[in-house]
C-alpha cells in the first residue's frame, strides 16, 4: 500500500520553520530565501488541508495542530538520521587478512586486538598464523615476521624489538634454585625448532662453563613457552612478548642477564602489485596501529623490566 506523504521540500521547510517559529531563521538554516520558505509552507498547508501556522504580520506561531505534527515530524527525522548514521557506520564491512608468527600472535597481538577493533569497528580482521617465509600475498594482506630480511616487491617497517632472558615457573625455581647461569646445567632447557640457536648463543654470551645436557625440543616456540609455565623446564623467553606472564607471576626471571637482543618484528605489505588500490589505506592504518602499539610496548618494557626480575625472584622464594 502506497504511503500518503507530502512533498519532502515542503515537509523540510515546515520542520525548520516550526522549530524556529520563524520563516527567516528557517531560510537561513536551509540557505534559501524567506519567500521560498513562505511558499513551501503555504504549499504544505494546502496539501495538508490544515493550517499549521498563525501569521501576525511578520511573525508566525504554530497552531496546536502544527505543534502536534511537529513532534511527529521531528521524531521521524531523528529516526531517518539515526538510520543513516548506522548505515554509514556498519553498512560496509571491510576485511583485513593478517598473517603472523604463532607465538607473536598468541602472546602479543591477540591481547591487543580489541583496541584495534574499537578503533576500527567496521573492519573484520581475519588472523592466520605461520612461520613460513613471505613469498606471496595471495591469502593475506599484511604479514608479521622477524627481521630484517629481504621481502621482494614489499614495503615493510620495524615496529617491535625483542630481547631474550631465561624464564621458568616459580615452583620450578623453588625446587631447584638458579643463582648463577651455571645452575642452568641442573635444569631441562626448553628448545624450539623455530629458534634452534637461541640457547647456544645465550649460554655463550653468559660464559656458562657447566655443560647443559638436559633439553626438550618443541616444533613451535609457543609450546616451549607453555612448557615453561607448566614447570617442565627453563625457556629462553622473549621480552616484551612475555610481559603478562611475568607481571602475573606465571613465569619468573631467575637471572638478571645477559639480556640478548634478538631479531625484532616487522610488518610487511605487498602494496606495489595490489589490484585493490582502495584497500591500501586500511592496510596502512593497521601498520600504523602496529607501530603505535609497538612503541608503547617497548616503553612499558623498559619501565617494568627492572622491577620484574626482582619481584619475580621474591615471589619465587616466598
Q: Is residue 161 part of a domain?
A: yes
Length of the chain: 318
Q: CA 25 to CA 20: how far, in whole Å?
A: 6
| In-domain check, residue 3 | no
Q: Are residues 39 and 148 in the same domain?
A: no
Whole-number pLDDT of residue 89:
53
Q: Is residue 158 part of a domain?
A: yes
Conformational region of residue 264, where left means phi above 0, alpha means psi within -120 to 50, and beta covers everything else:
beta
User: What is the residue range of 85's domain?
Assistant: 8-90
Retrieve residue 116's grid coordinates.
584495534
Domain match, 59 and 173 both: no
Tens-binned pLDDT, residue by residue, of the chain (318 aa): 567 888 888 989 999 999 889 999 899 988 999 899 999 999 998 998 989 999 887 788 999 999 998 888 888 887 776 666 555 555 577 889 999 999 899 889 998 999 998 888 888 899 999 988 887 777 888 999 998 888 887 888 999 998 889 999 999 999 999 998 999 989 999 998 888 888 888 988 988 877 877 889 998 888 988 999 999 999 988 888 888 888 889 999 998 888 888 889 999 987 544 434 344 678 888 999 999 999 888 777 665 555 544 544 444 444
Cell reading at 38:
513562505
Mark whether 19 and 118 lie in a shared domain. no
All cell numbers assigned to 302 = 623498559
* Domain boundary residue, one of 90, 111, 140: 90
Are residue 179 and residue 291 in the same domain, yes or no?
A: yes
Sole residue written with cell 599484511: 142
- DSSP class of residue 108 equals I
Check which CATH number belongs to the domain holding 59 and give it.
1.10.10.10
CATH number of the domain that 268 lies in?
Answer: 3.40.190.290
Shared domain for 164 and 32, answered yes or no, is no
Report the domain count for the chain: 2
Nearest-angstrom CA–CA distance, 70 and 13: 11
Tell me which residue has cell 512533498.
7
Number of C-beta neighbours around residue 138 at 10 A: 6
Question: Are 201 and 267 in a shared domain?
Answer: yes
Cα–Cα distance for residue pair 16/95, rounded to 1 Å: 41
Does residue 14 lie within any of the structural domains?
yes
Please check whether residues 311 and 171 belong to one and the same domain: yes
Regarding beta strands 260-269 and 215-218, do their DSSP bridges make them parallel or antiparallel, or are they unpaired? unpaired
CA distance 237 to 315: 18
**At 231, is the secondary structure helix, strand, or coil?**
coil
Is residue 2 included in any domain, yes or no? no
| Cis ω for the linkage preceding 244 (within 30 of 0) | no
221 found inside a domain: yes
Helix (H) or strand (E) holding 127: strand 123-129
Do 221 and 107 have their domain in common? Answer: yes
Strands 189-192 and 215-218: parallel
- The cell numbers describing 204, all together, are 655463550
The verdict on 63 and 108 lying in the same domain is no
Tell whether 46 is covered by a domain. yes
Does residue 57 sit in the same domain as residue 122? no
User: Domain boundary at 55, 90, 125, which?
Assistant: 90
pLDDT value of residue 317? 41
| Whether residues 177 and 241 fall in one domain | yes
CA quadruple 38, 44, 45, 47: dihedral positive or negative? positive
Residues 133, 266 within the same domain? yes
Structural domain includes residue 302: yes
Rg (CA), the chain: 33
- Where does a domain end: 67, 90, 113? 90
Distance CA 86, CA 190 (A): 51
Q: Which three cell numbers stand for residue 301?
A: 618494557
Strand residue runs (E) in 206-285: 215-218, 234-239, 260-269
Residue 108 grid coordinates = 602479543
The three cell numbers of residue 24 are 527567516
* Contact of 117 with 126, CB cutoff 8 Å: no
Burial of 278 (0-12, 13-18, 19+ CB in 10 A): exposed
Amino acid at each position: 500500500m502506497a504511503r500518503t506523504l507530502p512533498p519532502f521540500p515542503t515537509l523540510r521547510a515546515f520542520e525548520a520553520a516550526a522549530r524556529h517559529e520563524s520563516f527567516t531563521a528557517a531560510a537561513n538554516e536551509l540557505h534559501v530565501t524567506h519567500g521560498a520558505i513562505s511558499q513551501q509552507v503555504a504549499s504544505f498547508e494546502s496539501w495538508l488541508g490544515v493550517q499549521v501556522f498563525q501569521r501576525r504580520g511578520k511573525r508566525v506561531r504554530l497552531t496546536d495542530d502544527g505543534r502536534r505534527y511537529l513532534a511527529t515530524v521531528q521524531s521521524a527525522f531523528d529516526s531517518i538520521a539515526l538510520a543513516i548514521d548506522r548505515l554509514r557506520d556498519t553498512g560496509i564491512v571491510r576485511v583485513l587478512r593478517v598473517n603472523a608468527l604463532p607465538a607473536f600472535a598468541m602472546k602479543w597481538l591477540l591481547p591487543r586486538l580489541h583496541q584495534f577493533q574499537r578503533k576500527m569497528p567496521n573492519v573484520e580482521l581475519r588472523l592466520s598464523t605461520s612461520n613460513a617465509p613471505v613469498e606471496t600475498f595471495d591469502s593475506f594482506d599484511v604479514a608479521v615476521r622477524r627481521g630484517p630480511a629481504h621481502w621482494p616487491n614489499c614495503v615493510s617497517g620495524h615496529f617491535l624489538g625483542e630481547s631474550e632472558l631465561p624464564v621458568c615457573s616459580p615452583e620450578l625455581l623453588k625446587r631447584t634454585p638458579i643463582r648463577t647461569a651455571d645452575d642452568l646445567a641442573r635444569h631441562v632447557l626448553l628448545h624450539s625448532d623455530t629458534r634452534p640457536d637461541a640457547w647456544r648463543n645465550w649460554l655463550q654470551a653468559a660464559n656458562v662453563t657447566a655443560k647443559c645436557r638436559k633439553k626438550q625440543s618443541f616444533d613451535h616456540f609457543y609450546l616451549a613457552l607453555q612448557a615453561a609455565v607448566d614447570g617442565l623446564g627453563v625457556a629462553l623467553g622473549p621480552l616484551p612478548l612475555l610481559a603478562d606472564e611475568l607481571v602475573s607471576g606465571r613465569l619468573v626471571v631467575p637471572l638478571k642477564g645477559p639480556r640478548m637482543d634478538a631479531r625484532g618484528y616487522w610488518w610487511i605489505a605487498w602494496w606495489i602489485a595490489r589490484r585493490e588500490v582502495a584497500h591500501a589505506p586500511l592496510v596502512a592504518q593497521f601498520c600504523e596501529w602496529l607501530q603505535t602499539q609497538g612503541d608503547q610496548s617497548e616503553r612499558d618494557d623498559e619501565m617494568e623490566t627492572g622491577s620484574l626480575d626482582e619481584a619475580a625472584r621474591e615471589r619465587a622464594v616466598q
